[in-house]
Chain A
Amino acid sequence: MTLHRSPLLTALLLSCLCLTAGCASHADRLHQFRSDFFAGNLDQATTEIDELIEKSKEDADVLKLDRAVVELVSGRPENAERLLREVRDRFDYLEQTSAAELAASMVTDDTAIAYAGEDHEKILILSLLALSNLMADGTDATAYSLQIAEKQRQLIEAAGGEEEHPELAERQVALGPYIHAALQEETFTNPDDVVRSRTMVVEWQPDFRDGKADLERAKYEAHSKPGHGVVYVFTLVGRGPTKEESLEVPTQAALLIADQIISHNASQSLPPTVAPIRVPKVVTRENRIQEVSVRVDDAAAGSTATIVDVGELARVHYEAKYPAVIGRAVARRVLKKSAVYTVKEHVNADASPVADVALTLAGIAWEATETPDTRCWGLLPDEIQVLRLELPAGPHKLTLQPADARGPFGQPASVGVNVRDGHNTYVLANFPDNRLVGQILTSEEVE
């Protein structure tokens, strides 16, 4: 059979040509609205995200997460909660395996699989749900805080359990038990729950500055002194991790050698692995903000401490899954090479140098079309920090300012909060750089 008489071969070549046309990756799409968000252009970022949701339906879920962050920092926690809940439910559904999508991903790439979120994103959806709810009416915050721990348990089990991945069990997000402790402390009836949750915080986030002091207080003291209330200042600081393209050179070299061994011994040659194996990689960014200093009524009151290191969390979870990413990339290449080999056998390519070269080139082109799956939640902070303050009941002015090792820098931002006797007040602010983006949210505004 010759090349011009093989419709199968022609179709394969044409499809390869079509596939080689480049597409913008999620990392490229992310760049513009991320820049606008960090520059404080929230309306512009909203428009861009909405346009992207319209244009690329397959990325709509993950883009809604970014939209939720914009809504939250813009002072609309109810909208943020609605979007986060919607994506949480979608990701729960998409966690199940689809054979059709996996088959499609074997002939194309991982972007053919509907995005079900990285593990750290699933945990952070619940974390931001809890924070959003605290800034709204707080009625579901307890449920969300419990779901954070439950989700982590599920993810560790799914990854093979604590024995296989002790690093996942050791670095769990302590925000869930932290919020649970705060809520239970406010009821005055569940001190055992408070101690239990504060203990979890210390175990899961041993570096958390205030963990041990919080635990000691929970063991022996009530929520606050008479006539006082508690203010929890949560801050989202720095620019969070994203996924970018990376070359997996050792695997490519190993596959290339394997190709040569098989080609040498088989009747047909395999397309050599010259197209690089491109995989996504979690990229974290330097964060100058070590803490956010808090002044109450113009007097220094303390500074926030890191309770969730988002960058570290993303890295640990991604490393646990990285062998599976490489495994799928290798399986995909094997499948593609096998397909080309089968066509070569079918057309007797060893007897037709033109067909052999054409099919080899088509195979290389097919492999080169693979795009790494860089879909990710792009507007996450680098860290979530918190400070607990016990203040006399009544109105207060809180002033927040980013700080590094040398002290506060950047622009301070203020908000009025009302502290109720024996109750909690929650404050949330977003400092991706040296100034506030959006507005400071509070659960108890000064009337």
Chain B
Amino acid sequence: MDRRVFLRDTVLLLSAAPLATLAGCRGHQKAHVLSKTDEDMVGSHTAGAETWKPLIDESVGKILGRQMEIILPAGHVEGALPVKKRICFVGVENKSSEEIGDFKEQIYQQIDTIISQSDAFAPISRRYVEAGLRQSRIRPDELFVPANQRMFAAAMEQLQQPFDYLLFATITSGTTRSNKDYQRDYMLTLELVNIQTGDFDKESANLRKGYHKSAVGKLKHYGT
């Protein structure tokens, strides 16, 4: 090849390279409303709606179902509604390795909503729960100390919001790593404590998620 031609072509190629690598256009972000049959997006790095929604439905459903059986008195007349037990849902504690960000409040509200729709329980408004904790200056994790529990119950009585049960929700996770891929097991645990007797009931729901850097990773670990 002629040296001149070679140099010219090289210079032109060099000059075109930066432009070629930088090609792209700006587009305005768009959105659409999901219908009830649309599947949730699956979070690529952390848990999202695809994880929390089924965990909430399962754990709350289990604990409410069992409590319905427990609290129905022996002489209960078929068809008659039992007196609703008042639940003080203290909060959701995140003990997992992930930040759940704005999902935390949503998890609380979803659990609270399902409980409020139950025939056996009536939740106390969160605003009263916050006011009671503020008034007694007790942290939720200190409520298992009997004196603190009595103080909190007294504060709630003062607010005209007596309750029968304390409800705690806890999120935990367990991570299994294989090089750059990992599996994370999520668990939502609900603990219902009877403040009169100290008895407690507990239910959990699990969901496992695999995180992969590539489709090969998914194939390697799960064969799909």
Interface residues of A (CB under 8 A from B): 92-94, 96-100, 102-103, 106, 142-143, 146, 149-150, 187-193, 196, 221-226, 262, 265-267, 328, 331-332, 334-335, 337-339, 341-342, 345, 421-422
Contacts and interface: CB of A to CB of B under 8 A. Distances in A.
A150 B101 contact: yes
B83 interface: no
Nearest to A89: B29
Q: What are the 8 A-B residue pairs with the smallest beta carbon separation, nearest first?
A: A338-B15, A331-B18, A188-B133, A97-B24, A422-B134, A189-B91, A335-B15, A96-B26
Given A94-B26, A102-B24, 5 more contacts: A92-B29, A96-B27, A143-B102, A224-B137, A331-B18
A98 B102 contact: no
A125 to B, nearest CB: 17
B69 to A, nearest CB: 30
A192 B26 contact: no
Given A97-B24, A99-B23, A222-B139, A265 B3 contact: yes
A151 to B, nearest CB: 12
Main secondary structure of the interface of A (DSSP, over half): helix
A100 B130 CA distance: 55
A222 B138 contact: yes
Interface in B54-97: 90-95
B25 interface: yes
A321 to B, nearest CB: 15
Interface string B116-155: 0000000000100110011101111100000000000000
Nearest to A99: B23
Contacts of A99: 19, 22-25
Nearest to A226: B137
B8 interface: yes
Contacts of A341: 8, 11
Contacts of A422: 134-135, 137
A98 B26 contact: yes
B7 interface: yes
A97 B26 contact: yes
Given A189-B91, A193-B94, A266 B130 contact: no
B130 A189 contact: yes
B28 interface: yes
Nearest to A157: B45
B139 to A, nearest CB: 5
Contacts of B23: 97, 99
B15 A189 contact: no
Nearest to A336: B15
Contacts of A93: 26, 28-29
A267 B22 CA distance: 30
Contacts of B12: 338, 342
Contacts of A328: 18
B99 A196 contact: yes
A189 B133 contact: yes
B14 interface: yes
A150 B102 CA distance: 11
A332 B22 CA distance: 13
Contacts of A332: 18
A102 B130 contact: no
Contacts of A188: 130, 133-134, 138-140
Contacts of A142: 102
A179 to B, nearest CB: 14
A110 to B, nearest CB: 12
Interface string B3-46: 11001100110110111001111111100000000000000000
Nearest to A187: B130
A267 B27 CA distance: 44
B104 interface: yes
B102 A146 contact: yes
Contact of B95 (A143, A192, A221, A267): A192
Nearest to B137: A222
Contacts of B11: 262, 334, 337-338, 341-342
Contacts of B140: 188-189, 191
